[in-house]
Amino acid sequence: MATTVLPPTRRDLRDAPFLAAAAGRRPSRIPIWLMRQAGRSLPEYRALRADTGMLQACVTPELICEITMQPVRRHGVDAAILFSDIVVPLHAAGVGVDIVAGTGPVVSRPVRSAEDVARLPELRVEQVARVTDAIGLLLRELGDTPLIGFAGAPFTLASYLVEGGPSRNHERTKALMRTAPDVWHALLDRLAGITITFLQAQVDAGVDAVQLFDSWAGALSERDYRRYVFPHSARVLTAMADAGVPRIHFGVGTGELLGAMAEAGTDVIGVDWRVPLDEAARRTGRRHPVQGNLDPAVLFADVASIEDEVCRIVAEGRAAPGHVFNLGHGVLPDTDPDVITRVVELVHSLEP
């Protein structure tokens, strides 16, 4: 199991609402942060990114810092999420990957054989120095607002590598699992190591929590998840168990996998909008705080409908040991930023 030497800059924020709720303690208010709050819907983000590619922004410390801070200043959220992308550690390690506007991550040379896996590089900490430098800048800016670091889970990274880019059906990925399980597990083992290194570097630099995103795990049955994915996600989460920060495990469309994902090792279970939080708490044995789970599309509805949904989710979240309010996935690009601010204010006004 990995151990961590905490940096001298580690802030004592144990009573911050986000960290209190993540630890299953009663916070001073219901904490809220939103996935993809750093960017997308904010005009100040679009202006800053006008002439800068996504990957370039993700490796420029000053831009990472500024984009991460924008929603904290505008909305008053209870945690910042590091501006980055799940393919950043692959790019840093030397894998040929780019983020194409309107498409997403595109891999120049897909990984589909044992020889392809053997060619994959390992990640060295110094290769993500620009990310850790950005964390240092953020610690001086954030005051008492916690900072969340993150990484993509091995399965989601593998899907991009095998498919060569985003996929609707993950047919090549699922075929490789069954046709060449030894190659599959070797690939996920390599990716788990990269993910651990990336998360450990963020923790050592001073982040206050980490989230493991398994964006595509919902494409799997529970049987396949446990056989082909669980051991590798568990390796990552177990490696971070002694890091001294909360671990959040989140996937999209993973309602049927919540029990298995909780077993993989986590402190907080992220829930998308398809499963009510009280049901998610039941499926995970009511042992974990929950995070979620307003449907991002609801932010386009009328004020009364948004308020009703927020209040319902807060009520359902009380079934778990703790609740961090969030969306069930990321902020949609055309979301009105003023609506987000009003949701933050509403959540803060409700009884924890």
- What is the residue-wise DSSP string for 56-79? HHHT-HHHHHHHHHHHHHHH--S-
Asked if the model's pLDDT at residue 4 lies above 60, the reply is: no
* Class of CATH domain 17-349: alpha beta
Q: What is the dihedral of CA 283, 261, 275, 321, to 10 degrees?
A: 60
Residue 103: predicted pLDDT? 87
pLDDT digits (tens, 9 = 90+) for 246-261: 999 999 999 999 999 9
Active-site amino acid positions: 36, 40, 49, 85, 160
Burial call 307-325: b when 16+ CB within 10 Å, e when fewer: eebbeebbebbebbbbbbb
pLDDT digits (tens, 9 = 90+) for 293-352: 999 999 999 999 999 999 999 999 999 999 999 999 999 999 999 999 999 999 999 999
Domain ranges for the chain: 17-349
Q: Range with the lowest mean pLDDT among 36-40, 121-125, 229-233, 327-331?
A: 36-40
For residue 265, give every residue at least 6 positions away whose Cβ sits within 8 Å of its Cβ, in sequence order, or none.
234, 237, 238, 241, 247, 249
Asked if the model's pLDDT at residue 1 lies above 50, the reply is: no
Taking each helix axis from N to C terminus, what angle separates 337-349 and 303-317, rounded to the nearest 10 degrees?
A: 40
Residue 5: predicted pLDDT? 39
